[in-house]
Amino acid sequence: MNPAEYDYLRQFLKSRSGLVLSNEKQYLIESRLLPVARKAGLQSIAALVAKLKEPRETALAEAVVEAMTTNESFFYRDKTPFEHFTQMMMPEMLKARAAQRKIRIWCAAASTGQEPYTLAMCLKEMEARLAGWRIEILGTDISNEVLDRARSGTYTQFEVQRGLPIQLLLKYFTQAGESWTIAPELRSMVQWRKFNLLDSFAAFGQFDIVFCRNVLIYFDQATKVDILGRISRTMTPDGYLVLGAAETVVGLTDAFKPAPDRRGLYVPAAVAAATQAAPRFSALAGAGRV
C-alpha cells in the first residue's frame, strides 16, 4: 500500500465514521482490510481502493467501515457506571419522572450488546420499583455485524466470564454447549438500530440517560465537540451523560459539567449551576464509589 492509498483510506474512514488513524496505523489497515478485499474478489489494498472510488459501491464501503471499527465490549464494563446507574441515576429519575412514569435510555456505540443488556439486568433487579413504568433502552452501532450478534443475545463462554457475576449468568442466561443466550424477557427490553454518530440525531427524540462510552476516543477534537453538542440537544434538561474512563467533556463543551464525586458521569451545565445551592447529589454522596 503506497502513501496515496493510505491517505485515501484515512480520509474515507474519517468521512464515513469519524475514525481518525495516525500515520503509524498502516499495519492495522492492511491486517483488517486485506480479508475484506479478498472476500470481495480483490487481491490487494490497491484494488480495494480503486473499487471504493467507483460509484455505488455501498456494500463494500460498509464492509470497510465495519472491519475498521473497534468492537471491544463486555458485561458490567468498568463497573462504576452501573453502580451510578442503580444507586443514583435511576433513583433520581424515578422521583423526577413520577408523573410521566417513562424513562428513555440510549446506548450509543453499543457494539455486541453487553452494555445495553447489563442495563437491562440492572433494571430487572429493581423491577419491583418499576411496576407501571415504561423504560426504553435503545442500542445503536454503525456495524450491522455486531448488531446482529447483539439481537441474538448469544455469547461465548469467554464473553460471559468477562465481568458478568456468576449469579446473574445463572439467573438470566441459558447454556447450549459453549454458548450462553440471555433470557427473552431481557432481549425484549432493548431495541436495536444501525446508526452512525456523524448523522443527525433529530429522529430520536429526547433521552433521559445517554451512555456514550469508549467511542469518542477514536474521533478528532472537532468531531468530539460536534457529537457532544448534538447529544446535549437530544437530552432532557435534567438528564445524565455517561462517558468512558478515558473520556471527558472538559475542554470540549460547556453544555455538560462533571457530576460531583461521580467519575465518568456528566449533567447538563444548567442543572449543575442550579444545584450548586441545593446539590442534586447530596443525599447519595459517596454511594457506589470504587
Distance CA 267, CA 66 (A): 31
- Mean pLDDT for the stretch of residues 52-65: 84
pLDDT of residue 286 exceeding 50: no
The mean of the pLDDT values for the chain is 88
pLDDT of residue 11 exceeding 70: yes
pLDDT of residue 131 exceeding 80: yes
Q: Is 144 known as a binding-site position? A: no
173 grid coordinates: 442466561
Stretch(es) of the chain classified as CATH 1.10.155.10: 3-68
**DSSP strand pairing (256-258 vs 134-141):** unpaired
- Mean pLDDT for the stretch of residues 216-241: 94
Stretch(es) of the chain classified as CATH 3.40.50.150: 80-284
Q: Is 73 known as a binding-site position? A: yes
Are 86 and 118 contacting, i.e. CB atoms less than 8 angstroms apart? Answer: no
Q: Is 94 known as a binding-site position? A: no
Helix (H, G, I), strand (E, B) or coil at 290: coil
- Mean pLDDT for the stretch of residues 78-89: 94
pLDDT of residue 273 exceeding 80: no
Closest CA to 3 of 63, 53, 45: 45
Domain 80-284, architecture per CATH: 3-Layer(aba) Sandwich (3.40)
- Give the pLDDT band of residue 279 (cuts 50, 70, 90): low
pLDDT of residue 92 exceeding 80: yes
Are 111 and 146 contacting, i.e. CB atoms less than 8 angstroms apart? Answer: yes
pLDDT at 284: 37
Q: Between 132 and 288, name the one with better pLDDT.
A: 132
pLDDT of residue 69 exceeding 80: no
Q: Is 196 known as a binding-site position? A: yes
pLDDT at 43: 87
Tell me the whole-structure pTM to 2 decimals.
Answer: 0.83
- Mean pLDDT for the stretch of residues 155-173: 94
Q: Per CATH, which fold does 3-68 belong to?
A: Chemotaxis Receptor Methyltransferase Cher; domain 1 (1.10.155)
Q: Is 197 known as a binding-site position? A: yes
Q: Is 115 known as a binding-site position? A: yes
Distance CA 12, CA 16 (A): 6
Q: In what order do the strands lie in the sheet with 190-194?
A: 190-194, 134-141, 102-107, 207-212, 235-243, 265-268, 256-258
Q: Between 180 and 245, name the one with better pLDDT.
A: 180
115 grid coordinates: 452494555
Give the lowest-confidence range in 66-75, 180-189, 213-222, 275-284.
Answer: 275-284
Q: Is 42 known as a binding-site position? A: no
Give the lowest-confidence range in 81-90, 109-118, 183-192, 267-276.
Answer: 267-276
Instruction: Give residue for cell 444548567.
Output: 270
Q: For residue 67, count other CB atoms closer than 10 A to its CB.
A: 18
pLDDT at 280: 52
